[in-house]
């Protein structure tokens, strides 16, 4: 099932910010690149593109398939937004020094084409980074997997295995392949983001599975505040 990002864009913008740990890791990886133009693929509402520009990247291209997600993104004099598809990147060979995506690769239909395009447009020494959820991260997602366990099998089906992604990167010729994880804990004071299904996995389960989870979360929130955890696995490599 395709997620209707054009429809959920305002809700996404209201409820889904960037993670400071992800910004720190992306900046560290940018420091390993030649330091020129950066492309964020699937930039959505632009939170990471904006953070990279603020951190000093002089030219940031930010691309997304959804016009409405792009409409929510902040204007910035160092960011050029583009509407387009990850498998067809409108750049010349060796044009970019870093390409990254956050929470996007599971939406891309043809990973091989995306990686091949990325390899083509990266400068030698350029960094390719995919921030996504590993199987372990999906299983321990809090609150999503706790209140909506039906999301776990759905997500395991949807997300790519990191070893498989590594194998594809190696087969294309990427080198210095490595990975790390980052996380942060955050207080949850209301259920609005979950009620509005700002997390796409909640749109992929039945109402019968969704409703009891929401009720349980509301009831736990009445009894006291909750804490959630955001985690991401970062898989990166260099173009030789
Ligand atoms: C979960 S959101 C992540 C947005 C942003 N990276 C963030 O972390 O806030 C996934 C985004 O990927 C975009 N997307 C999905 N498939 C895409 C594709 N094939 N090419 C480009 N963008 C795509 C969607 O429109 C959506 O904005």
Least confident of 38-42, 56-60, 82-86, 208-212: 56-60
For residue 147, which phi and psi values (nearest 5 degrees)? -90, -25
Q: Are β-strands 60-64 and 79-83 bridged in parallel, bridged antiparallel, or unpaired?
A: parallel
pTM of the model: 0.96
pLDDT digits (tens, 9 = 90+) for 9-21: 999 999 898 999 9
Mean pLDDT of 174-199: 95
Give the pLDDT score at 188: 95
Give the pLDDT score at 164: 98
How far apart are the C-alpha atoms of 152 and 139, rounded to whole Å? 6
* Cβ(13) – ligand 1 distance below 6 Å: no
| Sequence ranges of the domains in the chain | 5-134+152-185+229-238
Is the pLDDT at 236 greater than 80? The verdict is yes
Mean pLDDT of 72-99: 97
* Cβ(42) – ligand 1 distance below 6 Å: yes
Structurally, at CATH architecture level, domain 5-134+152-185+229-238 sits in 3-Layer(aba) Sandwich (3.40)
Nearest to 80 by CA among 57, 97, 103: 57
Nearest atom, ligand 1, residue 114 CA: 19
* Cβ(230) – ligand 1 distance below 6 Å: no
The residue whose CA is least distant from atom 12 of ligand 1 is 42
């Amino acid at each position: 099932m395709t997620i209707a990002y054009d429809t959920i864009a305002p809700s996404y913008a209201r409820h889904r910010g960037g993670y400071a740990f992800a910004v720190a890791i992306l900046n560290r990886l940018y420091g390993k690149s030649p330091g020129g133009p950066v492309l964020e693929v699937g930039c959505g509402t632009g939170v990471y593109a904006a953070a990279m520009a603020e951190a000093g990247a002089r030219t940031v291209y930010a691309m997304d398939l959804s016009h409405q997600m792009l409409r929510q993104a902040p204007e910035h004099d160092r960011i050029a937004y583009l509407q387009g598809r990850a498998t067809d990147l409108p750049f010349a060979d060796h044009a970019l020094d870093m390409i990254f995506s956050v929470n996007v690769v599971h939406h891309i239909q043809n990973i091989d084409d995306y990686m091949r395009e990325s390899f083509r447009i990266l400068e030698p020494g350029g960094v390719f980074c995919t921030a996504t959820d590993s199987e372990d991260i999906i299983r321990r997602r809090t609150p999503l997997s706790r209140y909506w366990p039906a999301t776990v099998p759905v997500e395991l089906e949807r997300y790519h295995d990191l070893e498989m992604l590594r194998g594809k990167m190696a087969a294309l010729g990427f080198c210095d392949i490595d990975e790390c994880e980052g996380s942060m804990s955050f207080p949850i004071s209301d259920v609005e983001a979950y009620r509005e299904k700002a997390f796409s996995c909640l749109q992929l389960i039945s109402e019968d599975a969704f409703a009891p989870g929401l009720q349980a979360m509301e009831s736990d929130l009445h009894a006291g505040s909750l804490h959630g955890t955001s985690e991401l696995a970062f898989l990166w490599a260099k173009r030789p």
